[in-house]
Structure 1
């Protein structure tokens, strides 16, 4: 597994992957900006609406304290946008990954497994659907875990474990579906649940590093291509030529 991680890390910095890396980072930044603007508008609207409602309920004499409270809430909202963008990076990168699945996998397979049958490109709607599903599940799990952040950091542990499971699940199935049906890919992931989850911990650690985590789609996909190859075992197309080479000449 360590060897697979090192190979994935070295390859995402190679010239062949540089174009994908910049496009992936660009798309992730666009999504982060859109998310931040959306959150800021929502929180500002809630603060303004709450101030108007409170003034109507308490009376004009409370206008100054309410203005101060609204100002404090606006600052908190800005911090919340930054905090939210950081914690939603796994969801953002999982969505970004769905656009670059096959490009990354093709590079890995050509460089490290040239003698083997290449995978079949996934239909873009299927890849995007998987990315949206993982992003939605990530946000849902994070919302559930958020209240536990206040209790001795339990929420952060839940975040990390959930991220490992969700991202490990997505990247492995995307890599496996290049060679198997979606049902077979899911079955293989379940049969190797411990290995996939452990690999997911590596991806979760990667996505937790600021700035570096913008490259998560490339690292996660490349890493899981190697993991899928290892968990698939010996490939018949490689075994047969070796067997023939050992046969005595007639």
Structure 2
């Protein structure tokens, strides 16, 4: 796993990575700016109380709450925004490290959009459900990394594996390597909260997962291949 992560980092200078990094950064920052602007405008234009200072307090606290929730959901939003742009990253990794692989399994664009939307919905719902627990010191870190580690490991795995495996084989390999994928997800979740680094996470995580996935396929007796 360490070797796979190191190989992902050493390829960051690849031109195919640069374009995706730039586009995902712009798209993600734009989305969050739009969200924050919309919520802030709604709060400031709505007078919930007749007491000015109380309205101002609600506006400020509301904006801070939006920022906090946005930070919690950052990993999910980033991968959702950039998922449709990561194909070139996977191809670059395969071209450099796995030139013997055949053509990938064709995936309809609508399938990718549907999978990304479903993933984002699940992440938002689950994180909102456990939101009160995030207020408890120590426990909040455990819950955050376990929950998002599982979700991110699963999502990046499916993003990569469905190019090479049919859904049934993809699920089989996932069940056999569930702990490894969970650990990979925790690493990705940790990187996702590091400022600046988190903007590079979609590309690093995708390249990382390609190497992890190929190692997993080789270790299993019946992994299947496209």
The whole-number CA distance in structure 1 between the counterparts of 2:204 and 2:27 is: 16
2:86 match: secondary structure: helix
The answer to whether the aligner puts 1:159 opposite 2:157 as a matched pair is no
Q: 1:190 aligns with which of 161, 170, 175?
A: 175
Q: Would the alpha carbon gap of residues 234 and 154 (structure 1) be closer, same or farther in structure 2, given more than 3 Å must change?
A: closer
The whole-number CA distance in structure 2 between the counterparts of 1:77 and 1:234 is: 50
The answer to whether the aligner puts 1:227 opposite 2:212 as a matched pair is yes
Q: 2:190 aligns with which of 173, 195, 205?
A: 205
2:130 match: secondary structure: helix
Aligned-pair distance for 1:186? 2.4
Q: Point out which structure has higher relative CO (alpha carbons under 8 A, 6+ apart).
A: 2
Aligned-pair distance for 1:147? 0.5
Structure ID, larger Rg: 1
The whole-number CA distance in structure 1 between the counterparts of 2:31 and 2:105 is: 28
Q: Is the 8 A contact 1:96 1:217 kept in 2?
A: no
Q: Is the 8 A contact 1:32 1:92 kept in 2?
A: no
The whole-number CA distance in structure 2 between the counterparts of 1:202 and 1:196 is: 10
What TM-score results when the alignment is normalised by the length of structure 2? 0.89
The whole-number CA distance in structure 2 between the counterparts of 1:121 and 1:216 is: 25
RMSD, aligned CA? 2.1
The whole-number CA distance in structure 1 between the counterparts of 2:42 and 2:167 is: 37
1:135-154 paired onto structure 2 within 5 Å = 135-154=120-139
Structure 1 gaps, min length 5: 52-62, 236-250
Aligned-pair distance for 1:187? 2.6
Task: Flag the structure with higher helix content.
Answer: 1
Aligned-pair distance for 1:10? 2.2
Deviations along 1:19-42, one digit per CA (max 9) or x if unpaired, are: 121112111112212222233245
Deviations along 1:126-157, one digit per CA (max 9) or x if unpaired, are: 12222111111111111111111222242332
Query: Aligned residues, how many?
Result: 221
The answer to whether the aligner puts 1:12 opposite 2:12 as a matched pair is yes
The whole-number CA distance in structure 1 between the counterparts of 2:14 and 2:86 is: 17
Q: Would the alpha carbon gap of residues 192 and 162 (structure 1) be closer, same or farther in structure 2, given more than 3 Å must change?
A: same
- 2:35 is matched with 35
